[in-house]
Structure formats: C-alpha cells, structure tokens
A and B are shown apart, each in its own frame.
Chain A
C-alpha cells in the first residue's frame, strides 16, 4: 500500500489541477456568452408580456440585470469562485440550496451505477476474450453491441413497461415509497435500493457494454504477449494464466475509461431521471432550461465540469499508480 501511495505523482496532479482551471473558466464563459447571444433578454424569457412594468423593473433591479453584460460577467466569475451561484429565477431560492438537495441523489445514482457496470463489463469482456471466436464470444459481441446501440430513454420506457406494469416487481418511479415514513431503517434502505434498480440499469447498461468491448480487446492484446506464452510454457493452469498474469495487465487501460464514463453517465441521467422522476441534477437542469433560469443553468454546468475534470484527473493519477511503466512528468 505504501509503495502505491509513493507512486502518486503529486507534482503532476497539482499541475493538471491548475491547468484545468482555464477549462472550467472556458465552460462558464461559453454558457454565459450563449445566454447573452440568445434572442431576447433574460427578463423577456422569464416574464410574460402582461407583467406590469413596475414588477418588471423590480425584478430587473433584484437580479442586477440593468448592469452592462461585462459587469455581470465579472460579478458572476467572482461569485462562482466562492461557490455562490446566485438565486434561482423561477424558484426564488439560492441555487446552492437547489443543488444541495439534488446533487446527492444524482451522485448516489451515478456511483451505484459505476460500481455495477465495471464488474459486469469486465466479466463479460473477459469471458469473450477467453473464448475468442467461439459461440460465447460472438453472442457476447452481439448482445453488448445491441445494448450499446440502444437509446437510454427507450430502454427506460421498456423496463418500466415490463417490470412495473406487466410483471410488477419493481417500483415505477421516484426515490421512496409513499409509505416511507412508516418504515424501519432497514426497510428504508431496501426501498431505496429497489428504486435504484431500474434507473441504474437504464443509465448503465450501454456504458457496461462499452466496458465489455474495451475489456475484450485489452485482454486479447495482453494474451498475445510473450510473457503469457512463457506462463503457459512453464505449465501454469489456464485459470492462473488468465486470472493472475493476463487480467491484471489487461485491467490497466480500463482505469482510463473511468474519466470518459462520467460525462456519459451525466448525459444519461438527464433523460432517465426525467422518466423515473428521480429528483436529481438531470431533472433540475432540464427544468431550468425550459424555464430559462440562467443562474441554475450556469451553476449546474460549473459543477458538472468540476466533477468531470476531477474524474479525469483521478483516472490519470490512478493509471500512474497502478502501472509503474507510466511516467507522468
């Protein structure tokens, strides 16, 4: 463990974190520009034409919309740096409060999904690589391609139809049963777990198929290496050759997939949270987009980007930690 810890490239991580800052700034600036360039002012989108002019003026003053764009932009940057996202226009509560109630739900869904898709994908990919060219390999390829090509929202609808209507064994939507207040703590956990199944499957299955495809090719590449031939030649049983020698090396590039999966899961959650009424960030941002609620949109993008950048950084560092051949300097 200490040997692994010693391998963390702190200098590199710090430099990467610093170079990520302009990226976050770029995203925020891009969204701000898009809002400014879009037809009509924020007030027009937000209010109906029938709103009395006095009310309109009050709202303009309240959100500081009479200030020039540059002034508002600089103010926004200053506020974002201290994690102050302003007030939501449609709910009139601080954006931070909205996000604080939603983010844990999305993180719960994403983390549980992540933890489920990797073992599944790795197992399928390994099985396929070991049986290369045989029936199991081809069937696995077809199945993973099928799920890889599937729109997550359609899968969600089909799962809902099958498992909550025709064969009702799982809850239709939401995070909790209506009777949640009368449950014991253990029942509550079970209830939450049951509510997680369908959204998790709908979001994760495609990514899991992606992991399987990647794992298969990675393991196939390793199996062709000389040291695997050596391991076989010295008479090791096949399960040790694959399980001990090949798998450990084939798993290395899978770590880098982690950074790529994160934005995919967020995109998936936007559609799937909508279908399963999962009160998360995806639902929040869709509502904000329909309501043209700029502070919420910018706040959500800011957080999304921070999470994605952090995920990528973590994946890179992890790769350096697990693979001693990698030198990040």
Chain B
C-alpha cells in the first residue's frame, strides 16, 4: 500500500513541475530549461529511486503485494531500470557531457564515432554526444510536464463527467470525441504553426499544447471507472453524510481511479516524446540553438549520406526512451490491475 502511495506521489508530483512551467524564469532560455528540467527530474528520480529501493527491499515486498508483483515482473523492472538510467543521464548531463552542446568546431566536421567523439560530430563540428545528452533533458522534461498537464485535465474531466452525468457528461464527452477524431499531429502542427512565437515562449507553447491535446484518452478511462464506482456503497455513504460534490469527487473517487491514470502517464510520456519529435522534425518544435532529440534527427537529415550517425543516434535515443516508458506502463498495468493484463 505504501509503495502504491509512493507511485501515486510520483504521478501527482507533476504539480510542482507545473509551477516551473507556469512561472518560468524570464531571464533567458537556459534558465527556463533549468527551471523546467531540474525540478521535474529531481522529483522523478527521487520518487523512482524510493520506489526502486522499496521493491528491492525484501521486508517491504512481504508487506506489500503490489511491490512483490512489481518486483517479480520483468517487463516492469526492465522499464524502470531503463527509465532510471535515462533520468540519471539527464540529471548528471553537465558532468557527463564532454563539450558544450552548441560549441561549433569542438572537433573536425562530420567525424565518425571515435574515442575522442564517442558518437561523432555534425556538419558544424559540434560533439553529438553532448548534444544528445542536453537534448534528452529537454525532450524528457517536455514529456513529463505535458503528461502532468494532460493527466490532471483528463482525470478531472473524466471524474466530473462520470459522476455528475446528464448533459454535463454529454457535453464533455462530445469534446473528448472531437479531439480524438482529429489526427493529433496535424492538429498540433496547425496550432503551433498559427501561434508560433520565438524564443523561450516557444518551449512553453509546445509543452502546454501537447498537454492540452493529450488528455481525452485518460478521461474516457477515468469516466468508465467512476461510472461503476459511484454505485458502490462507500460513495452512497459519503453522499448521505452530506459531503459536497467536489469533496466526493477528489477525496473519494479520484484516489480510487489513480491506478489506470498512472499507467496512462507512463505510456503517454512515450507518445508525447514521439509527438514532440515529429513537431521538431517539421521545424515547428523548440527553436534553435536549443535542441531536442527530434531537432537532432532533422539536423542529421541534411548530412544523412556523409554522416549517417548524426541522424541515427538521436533516433535510437528516442526509441530507447519510448520503449522504457512503454515497458514501465505495461508492467504497472499488469501489477496494478490484473484484470487489464495483456491488453
């Protein structure tokens, strides 16, 4: 139970990350990146590390059936390990990166991977390993923050729609179906294309838009769970005690539907990273010199034949990250809700 609460905390710890997005340091781009990336990563690593220790601790495993199931689920453990490695790499980037990521002529142009430049250099002689590490920070934090926004909106909308019912439900589900009918990437492209700005705001815009378009899926799941939960005795009891609707919603219902929300979060981090990479690839992502994994692939496209490594490694990094979060999500689903197993 404790472990479950810890994982919930990990999901809910999106709220402090939110503050970093809503109140960015106006000083300039690097400060903003630090403001978003570092708190979110520290929180994520802290929560993940605490969970990992709990799963490895034999006593705790005996006490908690969830921890036992999680620790004996290879899918979940591989995913967790991969995600932890990513988080550690992102956190210690300044110590690990051999060069400034934007330093031109850090080495000879288009050098193939070698000892001095483990992943090679690009057409401007920038070190690819350093660029990959710094780009990962941005890509991962965009994923985390956008998913926190999406999960918060989706859970609220789904819980309200399911509990209140009637025309409120009909209206909210109409909006959900509307957003689900749109091809997400085309919709994202249109919004970013229309509202494109320059500088630090652009990162904010992308994060917020990814969050605002990512919630319908989870709200459907939450709604269906709430529909069955609200008929149960403990909700009837809460209602007959005269509790207000918001109190029943957020104190009694939402904590009971967090399991699928957590699974959604893990899977959605992967799909958000993919969506952001697609945006960046079309040149509508975070503006230069800041780079994400998506923009790194775009950079490599120009020199695909002379220096194939420039496009290859960032793509592999995306695959790794997305795979880890998918594995973690699948594993969490298996352990949190055996009924959904294998779906």
Selected contact of A151 from candidates B182, B193, B274, B308, CB within 8 Å: B274
Selected contact of A270 from candidates B185, B194, B195, B305, CB within 8 Å: B185
Nearest CB in chain A: distance from B325 CB, A: 9
Q: In which size bucket is the chain B interface?
A: 35 or more
Q: Contact at A157–B301, with CB atoms within 8 Å?
A: yes
Is B270 an interface residue when CB atoms closer than 8 A count as contact?
A: yes
Size of the A side of the interface (Cβ < 8 Å), in residues, is 49
Q: Which residues of B contact A22 (CB under 8 A)?
A: 174
Nearest CB in chain B: distance from A287 CB, A: 11
Selected contact of A292 from candidates B193, B277, B297, B305, CB within 8 Å: B193
Mark interface residues in B298-332 (1 if CB within 8 Å of A CB, else 0).
Answer: 00110011001001101100110011001100000
Nearest CB in chain B: distance from A85 CB, A: 16
Is A30 an interface residue when CB atoms closer than 8 A count as contact?
A: yes
Q: Which residues of A contact B191 (CB under 8 A)?
A: 34
Is B136 an interface residue when CB atoms closer than 8 A count as contact?
A: no
Q: Contact at A267–B184, with CB atoms within 8 Å?
A: yes
Q: Which residues of B contact A308 (CB under 8 A)?
A: 181-183
The distance in angstroms between the C-alpha atoms of A152 and B177, with both chains bound, is: 25
Nearest CB in chain A: distance from B81 CB, A: 15
Q: Which residues of A contact B297 (CB under 8 A)?
A: 151, 153-154, 157
Q: Which residues of A contact B10 (CB under 8 A)?
A: none
Is B145 an interface residue when CB atoms closer than 8 A count as contact?
A: no
Q: Which chain A residues in 21-77 approach chain B with CB under 8 Å? A: 22-23, 26-27, 30-31, 34-35, 38-39
The distance in angstroms between the C-alpha atoms of A308 and B270, with both chains bound, is: 24
Q: Contact at A270–B304, with CB atoms within 8 Å?
A: no
Is A227 an interface residue when CB atoms closer than 8 A count as contact?
A: no
Q: Contact at B178–A161, with CB atoms within 8 Å?
A: no
Mark interface residues in B223-240 (1 if CB within 8 Å of A CB, else 0).
Answer: 000000000000000000
Residue of A nearest to B271 (CB): A149
Is A263 an interface residue when CB atoms closer than 8 A count as contact?
A: yes
Mark interface residues in A210-223 (1 if CB within 8 Å of B CB, else 0).
Answer: 00000011001100
The interface centre, meaning the residue of A150, A165, A264 with most chain B CB atoms within 10 A of its CB, is A150
Is A228 an interface residue when CB atoms closer than 8 A count as contact?
A: no
Residue of A nearest to B182 (CB): A27
Q: Contact at A270–B183, with CB atoms within 8 Å?
A: yes
Q: Contact at A158–B174, with CB atoms within 8 Å?
A: no
Is B282 an interface residue when CB atoms closer than 8 A count as contact?
A: yes
Q: Which residues of B contact A157 (CB under 8 A)?
A: 297, 300-301, 304, 311, 315
The distance in angstroms between the C-alpha atoms of A38 and B213, with both chains bound, is: 17
The distance in angstroms between the C-alpha atoms of A264 and B181, with both chains bound, is: 10
The distance in angstroms between the C-alpha atoms of A258 and B183, with both chains bound, is: 14
Q: Which residues of A contact B174 (CB under 8 A)?
A: 22-23, 26
With known contacts A26-B174, A153-B297, A271-B282, A301–B182 Cβ distance under 8 A: yes
Interface of B is mostly: helix
Is B278 an interface residue when CB atoms closer than 8 A count as contact?
A: yes
Q: Which residues of B contact A83 (CB under 8 A)?
A: none
Q: Contact at A165–B305, with CB atoms within 8 Å?
A: yes
Q: Contact at B282–A304, with CB atoms within 8 Å?
A: no
Residue of B nearest to A221 (CB): B342
Q: Contact at A23–B178, with CB atoms within 8 Å?
A: yes
The distance in angstroms between the C-alpha atoms of A22 and B171, with both chains bound, is: 11
Selected contact of A149 from candidates B195, B305, B322, CB within 8 Å: B322
Selected contact of B315 from candidates A148, A151, A305, A312, CB within 8 Å: A151
The distance in angstroms between the C-alpha atoms of A151 and B282, with both chains bound, is: 13
The interface centre, meaning the residue of B186, B191, B274, B308 with most chain A CB atoms within 10 A of its CB, is B186
Q: Which residues of B contact A300 (CB under 8 A)?
A: 186
Q: Contact at A154–B318, with CB atoms within 8 Å?
A: yes
Q: Contact at B181–A263, with CB atoms within 8 Å?
A: yes
With known contacts A23-B174, A146-B323, A308-B181, A270–B190 Cβ distance under 8 A: no
With known contacts A149-B323, A154-B315, A271–B181 Cβ distance under 8 A: no
Q: Which residues of B contact A146 (CB under 8 A)?
A: 319, 323
The distance in angstroms between the C-alpha atoms of A163 and B177, with both chains bound, is: 40
Q: Which residues of B contact A153 (CB under 8 A)?
A: 277-278, 281, 297
Residue of B nearest to A153 (CB): B281
Q: Contact at B270–A149, with CB atoms within 8 Å?
A: yes
Q: Which residues of B contact A154 (CB under 8 A)?
A: 277, 297, 311, 314-315, 318-319
Is B62 an interface residue when CB atoms closer than 8 A count as contact?
A: no
Is A194 an interface residue when CB atoms closer than 8 A count as contact?
A: no
Selected contact of B190 from candidates A31, A158, A165, CB within 8 Å: A31
Q: Contact at A286–B322, with CB atoms within 8 Å?
A: no
Mark interface residues in A110-148 (1 if CB within 8 Å of B CB, else 0).
Answer: 000000000000000000000000000000000001101
The interface centre, meaning the residue of B180, B183, B322 with most chain A CB atoms within 10 A of its CB, is B183
Is A205 an interface residue when CB atoms closer than 8 A count as contact?
A: no
Residue of A nearest to B187 (CB): A301
Mark interface residues in B172-208 (1 if CB within 8 Å of A CB, else 0).
Answer: 0011011011111110011101110000000000000
Is A289 an interface residue when CB atoms closer than 8 A count as contact?
A: yes
Nearest CB in chain B: distance from A273 CB, A: 11
Q: Contact at A23–B177, with CB atoms within 8 Å?
A: yes
Q: Which chain B residues in 132-157 approach chain A with CB under 8 Å? A: none
Q: Contact at A270–B323, with CB atoms within 8 Å?
A: no
Residues of A near any B CB (own CB < 8 A):
22-23, 26-27, 30-31, 34-35, 38-39, 145-146, 148-154, 157-158, 160-161, 165, 216-217, 220-221, 263-264, 266-267, 270-271, 274, 282, 285-286, 289-290, 292, 297, 300-301, 304-305, 308-309, 312
Give 12 pairs: A residue, B residue, CB < 8 Å, sorted on A: A22-B174, A27-B182, A35-B194, A38-B194, A152-B278, A154-B277, A157-B300, A157-B311, A161-B311, A221-B342, A267-B183, A292-B194
Residues of B near any A CB (own CB < 8 A):
174-175, 177-178, 180-186, 189-191, 193-195, 270, 274, 277-278, 281-282, 294, 297, 300-301, 304-305, 308, 311-312, 314-315, 318-319, 322-323, 326-327, 342-343
Which 3 pairs from chain A and chain B are nearest by CB?
A: A154-B315, A149-B322, A38-B194
